Amino acid sequence: MSTPQRLQKVLASAGVASRRHSEDLILDGRVTVNGTVIRELGAKADPLLDRIEVDGRPLPKPGDRVYLVLHKPQGYVTTVKDPRRRRTVMDLVAPVPGLHPVGRLDYDTSGLLLLTNDGDFTLAVTHPRFGMAKIYEATLRGRPSELALQKLREGITLDDGPTQPAEVVRLGHEGSSTHVQVSIHEGRNRQVRRMFEAIGHPVLRLKRTAVGPVKLGNLDPGQVRHLSPKEIETLFRLARNEDQA
């Protein structure tokens, strides 16, 4: 038998957002219960009996597959648990059975991270044979020459073997540092950082802005959103097409 619960708890339990961010969603008027906009944090709802929507989309039901986009801040590890008791990305999202990060971002890297409880989705996005593009914005120490950047565009040999060609675009300069956008189709450990170290221009800041068709957009650090049905479908379709190629 179901009983009414505080609305922010219902949202968090459904995996919409953390309890704190769920409160922000309510205060911003983005949550409706049975068609009525709710702005009071003390409001309650029954997750089994009431029609609860966020931005016009109904809450996922218990047992549903969940697909999330998180803007990972620096200073979090991309694991479900950490034996060293460091903060993990799971501290930033509501608890959902089976939820796990899709791929990884290292401790000092920020940006777009996908999470899901769907193993097939994780495989589609991360398996090397599918080659899902990952786009980053990086700030580099120094000003690399076009010849140095061309090495990355053609592929460079690292300690674990040659890389596939990367797409590298120079975005501008700031003092003695350089801003670039780089797109890769692999997922090796710290690959972007190691690529730029190999040409003598270490990464000072790194943020992932897209995975395939999914973009970070204006999501603030620590915030989370659900993937749209179109984004999920497109990711699976891209994987199927790559598999058939």
Give catalytic residue positions: 106
Q: Are the beta carbons of 67 and 102 closer than 8 angstroms?
A: no
Distance CA 177, CA 143 (A): 6
Distance CA 217, CA 214 (A): 9
Structure tokens at 38: 């709710």
Distance CA 91, CA 158 (A): 33
How many CB atoms sit inside 10 A of residue 135's CB? 19
Residue 31 bridge partners (DSSP): 54
Backbone region of residue 200 per phi and psi (left: phi > 0; alpha: psi in -120 to 50; beta: other values)? left
Backbone region of residue 205 per phi and psi (left: phi > 0; alpha: psi in -120 to 50; beta: other values)? beta
Residues 6+ apart with CB under 8 A from 66: 15, 60, 96, 99, 115, 116, 117, 118, 226
DSSP 103: S
